[in-house]
Amino acid sequence: DSGVTQTPKHLITATGQRVTLRCSPRSGDLSVYWYQQSLDQGLQFLIQYYNGEERAKGNILERFSAQQFPDLHSELNLSSLELGDSALYFCASSPVEETSETQYFGPGTRLLVL
Amino acid sequence: QKEVEQDPGPLSVPEGAIVSLNCTYSNSAFQYFMWYRQYSRKGPELLMYTYSSGNKEDGRFTAQVDKSSKYISLFIRDSQPSDSATYLCAMTTPSGSARQLTFGSGTQLTVLP
């Protein structure tokens, strides 16, 4: 158990809908990362927040947005969902030290768009 | 061309074998190199990370980085059935507190008892 929690574990929804994925980082970790894992694209970095501020942005679609709250939990919002958005979404967190390279991954949220 | 290339396998070996997993990369700016292990339906877990060229050993695992060839390897000695998983290489170029990992596609390993 990495100490990172994600809810929900599974999500089934329809095209055009909007969903929110939630992540609670390990105690004390200031950085939160979101990744998407699909069979054809592999594990892709979406976005990083550090202590409430966006720090790095990857291949995140404009239909997707994220935020990190004062209690350090984070939410990933996916809107206007398409079939191709079906994937595993992972959240990861990393320790307080800014130079740490260790990222601890949560168990993921499996999203199925029908 | 992807920034990080990894042979997807699948790779099947008998218990006790030495396993070699490899990645090549094209971005010379990558400075940190990691290997993650992912069991089915679980999140990736960090196995090893290295900063410089050379070898780093941790128990049965050895990570090797050759920056001049843009090539990294993970060796598993005395492989066990519990090592059966997907192994992902990852790399990053730190910029302040920004940490964007670029992953390989993963190699699926099965160790047969």
Tell me if B101 and A103 make a contact (CB, 8 A cut-off): yes
3-state secondary structure B85-104: EEEEEEEECCECCECCCEEC
Contacts of A38 (CB under 8 A, 6+ apart): A44, A86, A87, A88
CA distance B27 to A60: 21
Give SS3 for B2. coil
Choose the closest CB to B43 out of A56, A99, A105: A105
Token pair for A17: 């809908």
Closest CA to B19 of B62, B82, B76, B80: B76
The closest of B91, B93, B87, B95 to B103, measured between CA atoms, is B91
Contact of A2 with chain B, judged by CB distance below 8 Å, is answered with yes
Residue B91 contacts residue B101 (beta carbons within 8 Å): yes
Q: How far apart are CA A73 and CA B54, in angstroms?
A: 38
pLDDT in tens, A90-111: 999 997 565 556 889 999 999 9
Q: Is B41's pLDDT higher than 90?
A: no
- Is B97 close to A98, i.e. CB distance below 8 A? yes
Chain B positions in Cβ-Cβ contact with residue A55 (cut-off 8 Å) = 96-99
Task: Please report residues of A whose CB lies closer than 8 A to that of B99.
Answer: 31, 33, 48, 55-56, 94, 101, 103
Nearest Cα residue in chain A from B48:
A102
**pLDDT tens sequence across B93-104:** 877 767 788 999
Q: What is the pLDDT of residue A34?
A: 97
